[in-house]
């Protein structure tokens, strides 16, 4: 991961030690552990907004969504293979 600029982030010693433990266990750097955690948090938040949107959909919207998903599933299984 090439970063053009860096900064210092102050964290409690216990957290730093936990990040170091995970990095050692995974055979990677502390930076990669923190980066992975931040990306996972962002992805989890995104899926949370998707769940909220689905929960707020009307019955008609759900019916349309399921029909569209079935169409996409059919297109995905049309037998074509990627290069």
Q: Which of 54, 30, 34, 53 is nearest to 42 (CA)?
A: 34
Q: How many CA atoms lie within 13 A of 4 on its CB side?
A: 0
Average pLDDT over residues 37-53: 95
Q: Which residue has the higher pLDDT, 70 or 21?
A: 21
Residue 13 has pLDDT above 70, yes or no: yes
Query: How many other β-carbons are positioned within 10 Å of the β-carbon of residue 39?
Result: 10
pLDDT in tens, 18-42: 999 999 999 999 999 999 999 999 9
Q: Which residue has the higher pLDDT, 73 or 25?
A: 25
> So what's the pLDDT on residue 31?
94
d(CA 57, CA 78): 29
């Amino acid at each position: 991961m090439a970063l053009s600029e860096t900064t210092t982030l102050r964290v409690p010693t216990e957290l730093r030690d936990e990040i170091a433990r995970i990095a050692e266990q995974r055979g990677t750097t502390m930076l990669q552990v923190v980066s992975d955690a931040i990306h996972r948090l962002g992805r989890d938040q995104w899926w949370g907004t998707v769940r909220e949107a689905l929960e707020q959909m009307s019955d008609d919207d759900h019916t349309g969504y399921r029909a569209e998903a079935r169409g996409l599933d059919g297109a995905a299984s049309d037998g074509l293979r990627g290069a």
